[in-house]
Each structure stands twice: as C-alpha cells, then as structure tokens.
Amino acid sequence: MIYHLFEYLDQFDIPGAGMFQYLSFRAAFAVITSLVISMIFGKRIIGILHRKQIGESVRDLGLEGQDQKQGTPTMGGLIILASIIVPVLLFANLTNIYILLMLIATVWLGLIGFMDDYIKVFKKNKNGLRGKFKIIGQIVLGLIVGLTLYLSDDVMIRERITITEDNFQEYKSQEMQVDDAGNLYIVQEHKQPLTTIPFVKNNEFDYSWLVWFSGKYADSLVWIIFVLAVIFIVTAVSNGANLTDGLDGLATGSAAIIGVTLGILAWLSGNAIFSNYLNIMHIPYAGELIIFAGAFTGATIGFLWYNSYPAQIFMGDTGSLALGGIIAVFAVIIRKELLIPILCGIYLVESMSVILQVSYFKRTKRKYGAGRRIFLMSPIHHHYQKKGFPEPKIVTRFWIVGIMLAVISIVTLKIR
C-alpha cells in the first residue's frame, strides 16, 4: 500500500518518493517491519495466549525435557503470518501476480493450520484436523497455483537460445543478438511450463516431455502433468515442514535459511542482466518476490527470538504448514522446484525417516509378528534426542547442514 502511495506521489517530484521503486529498498523495509512486528507484538501475543491458557499438550514420548514444554503457548504461527502479510501489503506491488499467489498460499495454509491447532487446543482433540482435510486443502492450493501459473497471461518466461548451425534455419527470421563471447542468441518469450534442472548445462526441463507418448496432444495434456507436480510439491514440502517442527527453533531457523536462499534466486531470476550473465531462465517481474522473501525471513528470525531453546511459544500447525507451503509455492514460481530436495534437504530427511520407520515397522510386523524400527524414534531429530544429544546441539547442527545445502543450491547456478 505504501508502495502504491509513493508510486502515485512520485509524479509530483516529491523528494525520496522514487526510493520505493527500488526492490532493495523495499526488501530492507520489509525485513525491518517483519522483525519489529514479530518481536514487539509477539511478546504481547504470548502474554495473551498465556492468559487464555492456550498451551501445548505434550505427549509422553519418553524424551528428556519434554515435561518442561507442557503448557507452553502454541498457535504462535499467527505471529509469523502477521509478520509476513503486513510488510508485504505495505511494501510489495499488489498487482504482481506472483505476490498475489504468495499471499493466497500464506493465508490458505495458515487457515488450515489454525483449524488444526484450534481443534487440538479448544476441542481437546489431540488428533486435530483430520488428515484427509489437510490433504484436500493442500490439493486445492496446488490447483490454484498450478492453473494460475499455466493459464495467466501475466506469467511469462524469457528463454535465451544460443544459435548454432543446427538451429540457425529455425530461428533465422528472428532478431539475433551477440554475447560477450561472440555467440549469436535470441531471447524467446513464452508460457511453456519449464523448470530448471540443477547441475545441467542448458538446463531447462519441459513438462511436456513427460507426455511425449501422446504425440500431437502433448501440448494439450501438459497442464495436467504440471498441475499434478505442483500439488505434489506443495503437499510434500508443507508436510515436511510440519514434521520438522519438533524441537525448539528447528523449523523456524531452517525456514529462515531457505527464505534467504529463495530470495536470492528470485532476485537473480527476475533481473534481466544477471539472468543473462548466469544463463538462467529469466522470469519477468519475479524480482518482486524478494519483498516477500524479506518479510518471510524477518518473520522467522523474529519469531526465533521467542522460539529458540527454551521456547516461550510454539508455532503449531498454523505456522509449520504455512511455512512449508510458502517455500513450495515460491520455488515453483521461480522454476526452481527441482532444487527442493537439495535446498529443503532437512525437510526431506525428516519426512523420509518417518516413511522408512513406518514402512519397515509394518513390514516386519507382518513377517515376524513384531514390528522392528530403523531409528530409535522418528522423525529423525527425536532419534538423536534418544541417543542423548542435547536439544540445542541437535538444532544447531541441523542449521549448519541447512546452510551448507543453501550454499550448494546457489552454487548450482554456476556448476553445470
């Protein structure tokens, strides 16, 4: 809103009004504002939750220190959501299709998580919202995002194609340019659903390749494959973030690291000069997402002030489902969804530890009559707790791994 106000005032030559046209300036303000909201208003919200006795009911898992968490206020994800939404509304271009999609994802999954926490806390039902309703909500969001990205005329990709002897005849009628190395190339703008393959040169992957067998109908069927892929990504990452939220600061800190990385990737992808230099897919207007990434990072770091060990508040599903969904939708928008297994490696390992544990237990129970376990407990962060590692050490080491994965994700832009 402030962005649009100063955009209007800029025509009157008011000193300083033009500053709000710069992404870096608005991103910095988004970070500061989200930090202020999460740290200052967060304390008040914690006080309100204490007075309302909205506390966490901790299951007896036989873990050291779990009794200390009993009664800790939950639903702190409301702090994160407010700290993201308010700065974005103030400093982002609200006509940008990508910002609108991110706001929808934030509110949608935040509401689903809130309903889950509400049932747990106020209805005293430890199971919360039934799993199928969570999945349905995630599928609906995937449909909204997938169809919007595929159908909207505001979503375009600019692809750089190097001209060679093999394809010269195909592109000879188009305007060609020369790069610093003397190679001819053209810039082609289209809506084809592409994504980026890490570590591969000329690394655009076309979703229509997955329906090659349909021949001339491939372009008509590709939207189905693309939407299904988006649904899977949103569901997987959202649930992965939910599973990771088990130790004080683990999910929050991991999300902050991922948020910074996605912001860098969005800025590079949305910048014509840098995307051309790095020879990566240029997504016009995607640079605006750095405002959202700034708010997201500031909100998670600000919340970490209260969520670090020993936690004064838990985010609950209100926060964890939303954080995972935000990361998934953000990655899909900037066409970096194939980087998720690397960038979100913590979420992947946490999810796989649960899948492997449950599958192995059921298989051995059928075979031997008694279930056996791979880990002492899943998700895997509880395995290390069972082995006697202090909670802060586990969280810190997971953060270190997350930083390493973030660096690798950025390095993929050059190593191919």
Only one residue has tokens 């190395």, namely 181
pLDDT at 81: 95
pLDDT at 166: 74
pLDDT at 223: 87
CA distance 415 to 357: 35
Domain borders along the chain are 2-56+66-156+191-411
pLDDT at 191: 77
Residue type, 50: H
pLDDT at 64: 61
CA distance 326 to 344: 12
Handedness of CA 98, 104, 110, 116 (dihedral sign): negative
- If we measure between CA atoms, which residue out of 231, 159, 144, 232 comes closest to residue 192? 159
**Ranges of the chain whose pLDDT falls below 70:** 3-18, 53-71, 180-181, 202
Number of other residues whose CB lies within 10 A of the CB of residue 75:
26
